[in-house]
């Protein structure tokens, strides 16, 4: 049984924002906070649909197309800064009329959630930071190379197959590759370039001391996006942040270990996902 309800648009923070909704308010979900999933730099909402399905079993769940991705507004000259993205998230919550909500952000989405929490935490009950890039001014570079994004997007804009995409994502399943091959072209290159640059110019560590809500930091066992010393620094800057590592997973945690991803939430959301 699918928990997918619909895709929709709102005009919020001056742009068209698209989201996918799972679960709805029935079956006791109205007694729990809504969940907003904010994907990473080149992940349109539809590519997180399988996660939306799982969350939708228990929570009224919204998966966001970040500006410049998927079906949300994109244009040359648009502001693709972290602040603009955070303002989008805050405006989306207000437009949807969500009284209480949880943000689950992956990679770039985690940085968006963190910045939004600093700007306006009204209604925000919990925050989950999934393998957030810890790069920034004076810090080590984000480990992924810009060419990986630019070259794969150029291939997708021309039209490519799942097999073509395997050169960039060799460990993914055929279904995952097919979806990425279908949707990657919707990632507006100026948006990706701006966000990648922001990984190195935005100081998200400065946001951490302002966290006022329970926060879970989830990191990948494989890869070096968030290392042990980074975890220690985050927990020093934001007292009370809990941490869990997902075994056998790289940066794209639910793609590598989907069951482990859901289990890692434990009871943090107020109800276990598995």
Instruction: Give per-residue pLDDT as tens, 185-200.
Output: 999 999 999 999 999 9
Q: What is the pLDDT of residue 223?
A: 80
pLDDT cut 70: percent of the chain above it: 100
Q: What is the pLDDT of residue 222?
A: 92
User: Taking the model in full, what pTM does it have?
Assistant: 0.98
Q: What is the pLDDT of residue 117?
A: 98
CATH topology of domain 4-140+202-264: Rossmann fold (3.40.50)
Contacts of 229 (CB under 8 A, 6+ apart): none
Contacts of 89 (CB under 8 A, 6+ apart): 36, 38, 64, 103, 112, 113, 116
Q: What is the pLDDT of residue 35?
A: 98
**Residues lower than pLDDT 70 in the chain:** none
Rounded to the nearest 5 degrees, what angle is found at the Cα of 248, between the Cα atoms of 244 and 250? 80
DSSP SS3 for 104: strand
Would you give the DSSP letter of residue 71? T
Q: Give just the sign of the alpha carbon dihedral 108, 110, 116, 118.
A: negative
């Amino acid at each position: 049984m699918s928990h997918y309800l619909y895709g929709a648009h709102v005009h919020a923070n001056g742009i068209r924002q698209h989201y996918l909704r799972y679960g709805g308010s029935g079956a006791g979900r109205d007694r729990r906070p809504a969940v907003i999933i904010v994907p990473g730099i080149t992940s349109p909402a539809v590519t997180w649909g399988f996660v939306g399905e799982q969350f939708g079993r228990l929570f009224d769940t919204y998966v966001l197309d970040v500006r410049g991705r998927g079906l949300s507004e994109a244009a040359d000259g648009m502001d693709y800064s972290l602040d603009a993205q955070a303002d989008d998230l805050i405006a989306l919550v207000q437009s949807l009329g969500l009284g209480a909500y949880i943000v689950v952000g992956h990679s770039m989405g985690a940085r968006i959630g963190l910045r939004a929490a600093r700007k306006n935490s009204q209604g925000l009950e919990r925050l989950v930071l999934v393998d957030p890039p810890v790069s920034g001014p004076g810090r080590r570079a984000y480990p992924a190379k810009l060419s990986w994004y630019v070259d794969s997007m150029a291939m997708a804009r021309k039209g490519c197959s799942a097999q073509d995409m395997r050169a960039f994502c060799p460990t993914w399943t055929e279904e995952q590759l097919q979806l990425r091959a279908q949707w990657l072209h919707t990632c507006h290159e100026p948006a990706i370039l701006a966000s990648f640059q922001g990984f190195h110019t935005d100081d998200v560590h400065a946001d951490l001391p302002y966290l006022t809500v329970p926060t879970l930091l989830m990191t990948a066992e494989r890869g070096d996006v968030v290392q042990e010393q980074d975890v220690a620094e985050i927990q020093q800057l934001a007292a009370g942040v809990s941490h869990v590592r997902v075994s056998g997973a790289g940066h794209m945690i639910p793609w590598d270990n989907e069951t482990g991803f859901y289990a890692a939430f434990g009871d943090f959301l107020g109800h276990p996902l598995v």
